[in-house]
Structure 1
Amino acid sequence: MEISRRDALTGTAAVAAAPLLVSAPARAAAPAADKQAPSFYRYKVGDIEVTVVSDGRYTFPLEDNFILNAKKTEVSAALEKAFVPRDTMTIYFAPLVINTGGKLVVIDTGLGPVMKVNSKGANGLFAENMAAAGFDPKAVDMVVISHFHTDHVNGLLAADGNPAFPNAEVLVPATEWKFWMDDGEMSRAPAGRMQGLFKSNRAIFEAGLKRKVTPYEWGKEVAPGLLAVETIGHTPGHTSYVLSSGSGKVFIQSDVTNNPCLFAAHPEWHAYFDQDGDVAEATRRRVYDMLVAEKLQVQGFHYPFPGLGNIEKDGSGYRVVPAPWNPSI
């Protein structure tokens, strides 16, 4: 930045005059804020407006079995390399609200109001941040679900147990729906986390939602400009999307990776929450190779907010280069 001679002289005159000014009374410091401003971020894909809405984050101690095929020391080193604490893991959550001009579409719904209470406001924030962004849940036409993990479906219900989006059609991947609603699969599920997921999913989709659920197939447009893409491994019916309008295009990856400082940098690592680690790894490599080759921007549900970035190859893995913040839409 260059300063003109005129600006410099004006500034000098102001400084010289300063002693002649009446001193302003000292004021007490403002009270410290105890929370962030509502977190949402907008950008355009062609004529479609995308609003990324934060559902918060979850931080927990790094356990030995978080990555099934890597030592804890290796995972800690990768965290440290990313300039984050080496002994804790943070997972971010960011559903989307898409305004196509004719439809208001929500993609995934966050952890829900119960987790907002249980986490003391660290997550489960989608509903309040969505309201702060100016959206009325009653105006949502469609809710598109990528897969049936709690951080994507629990926000389908409001705090009173009724549908959070009462006028919306709920669209789910057909393969995902078939798996989680299959009694045989439920009977074979390992005790603990998997059995719990079967029970919670059925409770959510049977709580006034079943009549509004529409399964969709891969390779088809599920909403205007939104193409469903098979990206299995994380779950049997895990789905990502290509959002297109005019010359604009972005890949909405859902959970192809979790936090990229681990799983983009080390696509070979298998997290305990991937139902089929080998398939999830193959999907990760296939998708990220495509993103690199096509120079296609990606929106990550578990990327640090707001989660829009570009992918480049980095050794045997990948690096996410965050898209610069844009003050205009």
Structure 2
Amino acid sequence: MDGNTFSRRTFLYSAACLGMLGTQSRIVRAELQLGSSARISTVSDGYLSLPPEMVFGSMPKEELEQLLNRNRVDATKYEPECNVALYRDGKNTVLFDVGAGPDFMPTSGKLLETVETIGLSPEDVSHVVFTHAHPDHIWGILDDFDDLLFPNATHHFGRKEWDYWWNPSTVDSIGEDRAAFAVGAKRRMAEIEDQVAFFDDGQEILPDIAARASFGHTPGHMAFEIRSGSESVMIVGDALGNPHVAFERPDWHSGTDQDPQTAAATRSLLLDQISREQMKIIGFHLPNGGIGRVEKTGSAYKFIGEPT
């Protein structure tokens, strides 16, 4: 890291600390111990503010209204948290996704503030593992000066997801409303091209961390199983994107999924495994830090958040 990068990073850190005064309770959202040496925390990248119809538009209106009322959800707004999972085992410091960075949405892109306020330097991150390449998950690899935020990290990408966003035809086929996603993803992927390690479904990408195909939200979306002895947790990214509809009616199609039919099948498979094996779950957009467990009730499921 050269002197110019250091001084720019120092400036960003100082500004971040000033911005985070009085907000420490929101920095680390939740934490769990896995085995004797590994810790998983979720740190906040802020939240998104989206039109509810973007998610719910294709769902049956009356049933949806009843479900949201039952869960005391305000249907006039949609503001999901953005929870970045941080895994530390004494040797590796791993981030699962990197948030939105400064160029996506003013309510998100807070990851630099959170990691440095808890005493973690971006240079300390040894690995970044991506679930997928939507803006709120990958655009944060660049800081305000377009420098790599985690310069010493190996960046792990599912081969299918990389190939999709790297393909020059994607920007023309993804749809006008998402064309900027494709342009933004490829620009950032070009910056990490020399620091990428590819993986496939079922592969152990790091000790105790294995990739699990969870296609649908994007063509190559990945979840990750982390196991230590009899304990396990599933990092689901956006495969389970909210704590109510996605769990009670995983078969309903969400407008945020690029392949809604495949995404619905993925949700059902993940929920069945997580509940059956009594795994913990970490969801990027699930509430109160995103860590919890899943209970099956008849043909539906329920997200039970961990106390924070």
Gaps of 5+ in 2: 1-20
- Asked whether 1:202 is paired with 2:169, we answer no
- Asked whether 1:241 is paired with 2:261, we answer no
The CA deviation at 1:184 is: 3.3
The CA deviation at 1:38 is: 4.0
After TM superposition, list the pairs within 5 Å mapping 1:10-29 onto structure 2.
none
After TM superposition, list the pairs within 5 Å mapping 1:118-133 onto structure 2.
118-119=105-106, 122-133=107-118
Which residue is 1:188 aligned to? 173
Q: Is the 8 A contact 2:59 2:254 kept in 1?
A: no
Which residue is 2:15 aligned to? none
Provide the TM-score with structure 1 as the length reference: 0.81
- Asked whether 1:151 is paired with 2:136, we answer yes
The CA deviation at 1:244 is: 1.3
Which residue is 1:279 aligned to? 262
Which residue is 2:8 aligned to? none
CA distance in 2, matches of 1:140, 1:34: 25
Which residue is 2:163 aligned to? 178
CA distance in 2, matches of 1:131, 1:209: 22
Provide the TM-score with structure 2 as the length reference: 0.87
**Greater percentage in helix:** 2
Cα deviation, 1:220-268, whole Å, max 9, x if unaligned, reads 1112211111111111110001111233211111111111112112112
CA distance in 2, matches of 1:61, 1:188: 23
The residue type paired with residue 234 of structure 2 is F
Q: Is the 8 A contact 1:258 1:302 kept in 2?
A: yes
Q: Is the 8 A contact 2:85 2:282 kept in 1?
A: no
CA distance in 2, matches of 1:79, 1:90: 14
* RMSD of aligned residue pairs (Cα, Å): 1.9
- Asked whether 1:213 is paired with 2:213, we answer no
Which residue is 2:75 aligned to? 86
Which residue is 1:14 aligned to? none
CA distance in 2, matches of 1:35, 1:323: 20
- Asked whether 1:52 is paired with 2:35, we answer no
- Asked whether 1:105 is paired with 2:94, we answer yes
Max Rg structure: 1
The residue type paired with residue 205 of structure 1 is M
Which residue is 2:252 aligned to? 269
State how many pairs are aligned: 286
CA distance in 2, matches of 1:267, 1:147: 20
The CA deviation at 1:204 is: 1.1
The CA deviation at 1:52 is: 0.8
Deviates more, 1:68-77 or 1:222-231: 68-77
The CA deviation at 1:181 is: 0.9
The residue type paired with residue 100 of structure 1 is D
The CA deviation at 1:35 is: 5.2
Deviates more, 1:250-259 or 1:78-87: 78-87
CA distance in 1, matches of 2:185, 2:122: 21
- Asked whether 1:322 is paired with 2:305, we answer yes
Cα deviation, 1:258-308, whole Å, max 9, x if unaligned, reads 111121121122111211111111111011111121111111111102211
The CA deviation at 1:36 is: 6.3
Q: 1:256 aligns with which of 224, 239, 258?
A: 239
The residue type paired with residue 175 of structure 1 is K
Structure 1 residues 72 and 124, CA gap change in structure 2 (3 angstroms) = farther
The CA deviation at 1:172 is: 0.5
SS of residue paired to 1:309: strand
Gaps of 5+ in 1: 1-32
Structure 1 residues 147 and 111, CA gap change in structure 2 (3 angstroms) = same
